Homo-oligomer: A and B are copies of this chain.
Amino acid sequence: MSMPIAQALHAIVGEIGLLSGEDVSARSCDPFRNVPPRGGLIVRPASTAELSAVMALCSARGQAVVAHGGRTGVSGGAYAGESEIVVSLERMRAVLEISPEGPLAVVEAGASVEALQQAAAAQGLFYPVDLGSKGSATIGGTIATNAGGNRVLRWGMTRQNLLGVEAVLADGTVVSSMNRLLKNNMGYALKDILCGSEGTLGIITRAVLRLVPQPSSQDVAFVSVTDHAALVALLARARRLPTLSAFEVMWPDYYDLVAASDTGRRPVPPGTGPCVLVESMGYHPESDRRQFEEFLFDAGENGLIADAVLAESGKQVAELWRVREAAEVIVRAMSPFVSFDISLGVADIEPFLPRVRDALLQRFGILRTATFGHLGDNNIHIAAYVGPDTAALESEVEAVVFGVLRGYDGAITAEHGIGQHKRVFLPAHKHTGEMEMMRRLRDALDPDRLLNRDVLF
């Protein structure tokens, strides 16, 4: 007879590598709600070899696992059921190398995004994937979910910054694809399929990430525009700035709340049209500034801008960004609400927004929304309140929004991922051939569905 799994895991990872009891129940799989792992065990390998042995054991026993990074995901990708053991990468958190040549970084999966950013900054380098949760979010988690953030427009999502990756498959096979080269056409893009697979194809253990030189210029303007046409025209002009790093739109339902709050965030008078935070980051402070000012001037001359503020100091830059990152104002003013992370064509946003609001209002009789997003990436976020029972009505609210979105070929998640929460909605938004191909790939790598079994599909 084989020994109990806890004992067998202990033999691989030792005392420090295995948590149980209160050490498990004190954790949450959700950043906002208290949702402890229900399986009672957390295994914490110290190396790829240990994780490989853990997965070989789990595979032999048919033991399902859920991978944990920083547990900052909002789609339920880290939820662990009674029959699942948690595999946490928290003991593999080294920033192994920052190389000015490349430039690139080699990092263990459990390192936080912030730890990488800081290690890079110490050498004048910059890791451009930036998230509000960067202090906790891990490199492995951001790779597994292809995390986005505020500067996707310039530097792409995590996948675009990923050069190489190492992962452990469900049966313990180690796939080391630690490429450091910008161009390498030797076979399938394994890193790209592991990235964004939400832990269902393999568990990321290490990665090679592309860095860029630390920008030396940051120009930020906060402007209001009259209508959607002006917004689209402004975006088209902004795209000609090679240093454009953010184009963050706040619709009136969002900005009115923030501007009316007692937090002093009201750079321009609220109007009928959306506001935009436009940012440029580059390496030539003088000429970057000149180009940025020319862009604003031309946009003004062409009647695209109603009001504008141009930051004159680092302090003002931070203040303008605080208007865009006013989550706590929304939470205070609107809770409970359902959060959306959708994307759709820029031209479709104008008809979509009133249509989705009408649909919600018709269905629930009461509605408050706050709408903002990374317009340059097609990504908009909507917080929707449909009354005091909003939390209980979450999936009904989602069904209404996603129903309208289908008519526009939009994506039900632009950056947060499907996780467990949106799984039920996925097939309606994918081609049947896509679902079939995804199923075949997953079956090929994890035939027993041991990895994040309830995630994605």
Which A residues fall within an 8 A CB radius of B?
A: 100-102, 145-146, 148, 152, 157, 159-160, 169, 173-177, 179-190, 192-193, 195-197, 201, 213, 232, 236, 239-243, 282-284, 287, 290-291, 294, 343-347, 374, 376-379, 409-418, 426, 429-431, 433-434, 436-438, 440-441, 443-445, 456-457
Residue in B282, B415, B431 whose beta carbon sits within 8 Å of that of A242 in the complex: B282
Residue in B173, B193, B411, B440 whose beta carbon sits within 8 Å of that of A185 in the complex: B411
A343 x B182 contact (CB < 8 A): yes
A377 vs B183: C-alpha distance when bound (angstroms) = 6
The A interface is mostly helix, strand or loop, or mixed, namely loop
A193 vs B189: C-alpha distance when bound (angstroms) = 5
A434 x B176 contact (CB < 8 A): yes
Minimum CB distance partner of A280 in chain B: B242
Residues of B within 8 Å of A294, CB to CB, are 284, 287
Residues of B within 8 Å of A176, CB to CB, are 431, 433-434
> In this complex, which of A197, A232, A441 has the most chain B Cβ atoms within 10 angstroms of its Cβ?
A441
A369 vs B128: C-alpha distance when bound (angstroms) = 40
* Interface pairs (13), CB distance under 8 Å: A101-B345, A145-B185, A160-B160, A169-B437, A179-B411, A183-B343, A184-B343, A184-B411, A184-B414, A185-B413, A187-B426, A240-B283, A441-B441
Minimum CB distance partner of A168 in chain B: B433
Residue in B102, B189, B196, B411 whose beta carbon sits within 8 Å of that of A181 in the complex: B411
A411 x B186 contact (CB < 8 A): yes
B457 x A187 contact (CB < 8 A): yes
11 additional contacts, CB 8 Å, given A174-B431, A189-B195?
Answer: A101-B345, A102-B345, A157-B183, A159-B192, A160-B160, A179-B411, A183-B377, A184-B343, A185-B417, A441-B441, A441-B445
**Smallest beta-carbon distance A423→chain B, Å:** 10
